[in-house]
Structure 1
């Protein structure tokens, strides 16, 4: 239905949602009404009530403030409000109103659209208000609200009013909420029409506070807005600092003396001030209860609307100090009384424990009447101990009192220590927890095996042992010396102390000195992998191959175990390895205290395949370049090159070169120190850690003849073949049957001195004449024999020999 000024909910400017909840729930008592309303009221609405200050929330019709502090009131003091405003402004730094509507004036019957947008770190949620009352789609069928995301991450909201009426005018506010942050913009919507003022319920205000009033009018144009108090108009005056009017009641001073004393001067009391059509009613007292202020709105044509607003001054509640009987003990009946010292009814009481609602399992009974509330605990125990808060609230303020409930309780085991087994090298924990009040103190003792006395555990154990405040004993790293007898002693001065003696044993979990190793073997080699597990018995060991269990009965392995001083040894053997035996072997050992794994990676290596495509790429007189290609999937790490003269073909005496494998598929090496014009054979083998591959088939090649260049004359050069560097060897001379004829025999010079192909030999016989004594003269008589030999024959005949003459023969 359309909004009507006569249907405004009670106190909607103070409790917009609380009073609506009152109307929606037909409850029997005011207390239940209040509690139900508070429970169903959103937190943002409660915040709006407690922070309804004109500077921080200008949409409110009025706000309350005070320069003196009161206890947790619904209306905060001026100092609290100022601090709250600063905090709200600080929290709102990241929330910005990027776009908003401005004051709009329209005629009845048109459509109006009001728009706001906000940017922030997170999407905002918008709400709309008109003259302090929330606006929604249920306010009027003509009202439509929408909200959408902007491309840049902002949010835009729009309020559309179709077929606008005069009573749609007023002060509109769009409020952007982002978590605890809030930012708002307000402006008026003016609709041409006669002036009218919406009705306000009696305004409840706490005694001692001030209140700001704003006239909730609509209609346009408006010529004048004025306020009256007790029939007198409160006018605005222009002062130097600002437009501010202050009206005061003056109390005259009698000029006569009474009983010889001068009368005391009474100060003027400021009643109200008017600032920009906002009426500020200064600190109110109980004497101001029922005071009426009237707002008058006039149009240029002389039309006028007037509405009066009544103040109800209410005293906030004040509580007496909560006292408890001393020396309370477990099992007694305890009553916690919360008494009202002053304050106007109705006052509603509630209780909290540790700042939260009291849990039902504590079975605490709450009883409240008009002026006090009491908590009854029939059988108090340790779980009832804590901080209790009594909260008292009425329509204007909320206060609280806090008391600590503690009872003396003898210590009781909450976690009794027990015999414990700790693991060597690991951290350890032994619990010894007890409840009681005062908080029980825990002391640990250990029996000294040397002196057979009980000593504080921190003295005996040394470093690495810590006793926590809850009684637990912590071992940073357990050692064998930590084993023994321990006693946990607990006391708090109430009742009998607690004591318990336990035994702590130290067990060694299975472990290995080394977690892994690599094993390399050749094909056909015997391999043994040893697994040395250390720890307390019993120890169990299982072998796996690539994660699968090994069965010695079905696989070519042998597994044997033997006990050692430190644990158990297991040996896995492979008598004759094959390439498929390369795998990941794991020795998994465990005992009741732990488990560990030893890993062995077995790599089987085999000789590589022989190189292929061996060839001689280039040949010179004294060197040659030999190249070859790797076979597919070659495992070669280096190469062995052998070469030898082809005539002898003795590989045992061949020269050997080791060549490191290089990048690439084809490899080469230069053979040096060869003889010219000589035939050679060469072969190549590939090698690695396992062995050397078979040699490739030999390749044969011959070196070139060595060429010497000689200068013949100034203008030309002709080549000449270099002569052999050695003479024929093994020259022998035999006498034939024919007189004067000798047979000469010899062997060719060494092949490395041929320097090319031998075309023939020259033999010469020289006669030497000796004296009578058989001595050779210094100048012997030489008579060369003109014997020449062609081809490669190593035998010739000399037939011009002079008898009885000594002849000298040589062959070259």
Structure 2
């Protein structure tokens, strides 16, 4: 490889260059022809064996220096001799850079290259310590090449770094690089703005670093601060600017400029200087008076100044006051701060402070509020006493002047004052210095309730209430202790208790406690003050005595219940028939003497025709002892009997009674009431009476004027409940005769008279006054609808648009389909209509109830009965 390089270099020379080199270097070539002395020792031979790289470098240098060809050939021969003299290769180390300048914070890398056969490449820092990889220094080594990386350089990293190569025999070679590190101009955490207190000596901080040390110059209002400003400004040794007795006039922007002449580096920072003036506070009025509980308000005022504007806070008893419904804060121009205390109360009296604060300091001012207090009850608590014991109720009140205290029982208004004692000696009052004690001896349940304490003085009064609670042993609320049931029928045994505090309740059966979960045939359902034992008797052993125990911390009580076997009721008696007609009869009876222990559910009334075996049943409504029988046949004899039914079952029937319905006859005269109709009409209301056992077919209404002899007749169907008589004459009295008719005949007539008034004046006002609101609205809507129809018709003929035009077009589009249907009729296809048949009296009862009307193409009509129901 080396030979190839040398051959290439040799080929570059031209023959002319070689001739000139020979002529110029002839003498040197002759000297070079002399053979060197043979090394005698091993060390000499080692020193005589020159590195191939050195020879190659020399060869390159010779080429560049245009050595003569003979001299170059001699050196090549010498190089080959060195190669022959020994097989070992000498180490040579080089670093990519010799000297480097680096600023603080920058990063750099260096490459170390070794020629030969190194087995180890190592770097050493300026302190001579071998470098190992770290966060700021990294090493990357590959056989004969190693790279050292320095991250974020610092001043301490400056110095000489060495790269050392070691071969297999332990021989070492090294190279070095000089690293110089300098600090750029850097302003360290310079704050802006910088604030100072008025009148103090201010030091404006400008911390700047560099290497070498920078020159710092200060500027204010675009002018350099020099020695002539020494009385006010002074640049300190640490480059900070000192301002003597700083004032508001010294506020502004100061420039700190730093430079390094050696590098021509310059930089600056602007710093705002703020001068804070301590607050000054004054109070125009220091003392205020108010009366508590009269919704009065007081306003305190503080006047403050300072820079920055002071923050004003209000304090009381060491605590800062916060805005609320009672405390209202306001701040006006001119530094006026106000605190308004609303709805002043007794506890609002005392000293208040106004505190003005800013960055330069704080100042306080005090104000005093004196509160005149009306009587106020401060202590009155609810009291709990045990029935039969004594209760003491205390009431404490304050005020200026000290109030007098009295008591009143709320439920009856009974007063109790100091020194009094009730007639029964159980209530007594003792009090002094704003405190009163009401003592109740032998507390009873009737004492339970509210008591009022009232404190009075010449300023006013105050009343407060308390509640006297009484604890007592459980008391059972019901004497219902016997319950009835039967096997398989569940029954609820209820144990109701009143107690204070609430009692715990449990059930016992023959000295055994029934658990809350119950047993196979018992369950317990409990709520406060009530426990229900659900028992489902399965045998005779489940009937008997059950015990309910109620217990609280005052005492314990017991109540015994009996579960007895129930029976069916006994029979009702005194069965009577009343209001018997052709179709109806009313049955009345007396309740049975015994309900069997279970409440009666209803009564069963049975009736049948004499001689028949089929009884028909009618149930009473709930437990009413009156039952109406309907649907009876006229002139028929019936038998009736009554039995009571309870949960256990049906009891025995009563004695059988016999009655006969009335035969069919003419109806009773109808009842009539009248009401004037609209205009010349009169409305007769018809109230049906006894129809005689058959439906009323019609009412025959005859009427005439009192001056005429001839009657006019009007027939009204029996299903109607009124008859309208019209037209009638104005200012005329009429006589009316009404008769009801059934299939049996006519009733006796009912006579009625009425008077038609004079003809009213027809005016616009009277016309509309006779109409109701609905009629007026209807007329208005009708007029509006008519107007819309006229507009639509006009649009149809003039504009060919509108609703009528849309309908016309739709009908025309269906003309083909309509023509097809007409053709079917012409061809003889029939159309059928079904109409109901009616009797002469108007009832739809004839069968078949419809007929078919068949329309043929020749317009002839044929009818036939509908036999679909035959």
Q: Which has the higher contact order (CA 8 A, sep 6+)?
A: 1
Highest CA radius of gyration, 1 or 2?
A: 2
Normalising by structure 1, we get a TM-score of 0.29
Normalising by structure 2, we get a TM-score of 0.28
Q: Which structure has greater helix proportion?
A: 2
